[in-house]
Amino acid sequence: MSVLHITKENFEQEVLQSDRPVLLDFWADWCMPCKMLSPVIDEIAAENPQVKVGKINIDEQMELAQSFQVMSIPTLMVFKDGQKQSTSVGVQPKTAILEMLG
């Protein structure tokens, strides 16, 4: 499955009402670690159809970033049944991200 572009307009439908676990990647164009992590996030989306993967550009979606108190990027969050289950900050290896989804 491809990566979704998450905005405050589609957040409730795509994340909170999702029937699958959701991995969110908070990122920005100017963030080098985010660019390093991006291909890993794309791989996870392609290889795991049972998981919904979304990216949130914090410069375009400041409200969402603030509501989840994102202070550093990249920040990854996993949501299940509309609830935030876990958060990690910084570049993570693919195995660690898959464990978060566990």
Largest separation between any pair of C-alpha atoms in the chain: 33
- d(CA 73, CA 83) in angstroms, rounded, equals 21
Assess contact for 49 and 43: CB atoms under 8 A: no
Find the catalytic residue in 15, 22, 23, 34. Answer: 34
Alpha-helix residue ranges (DSSP H) falling in the chain: 11, 32-47, 62-67, 94-101
Does the annotation count 31 as an active-site position? Answer: yes
Find the catalytic residue in 15, 31, 37, 101. Answer: 31
Q: State phi, psi for 81 to the nearest 5 degrees.
A: 55, 40
Cα 59 from chain centre: 15
Residues labelled catalytic: 31, 34
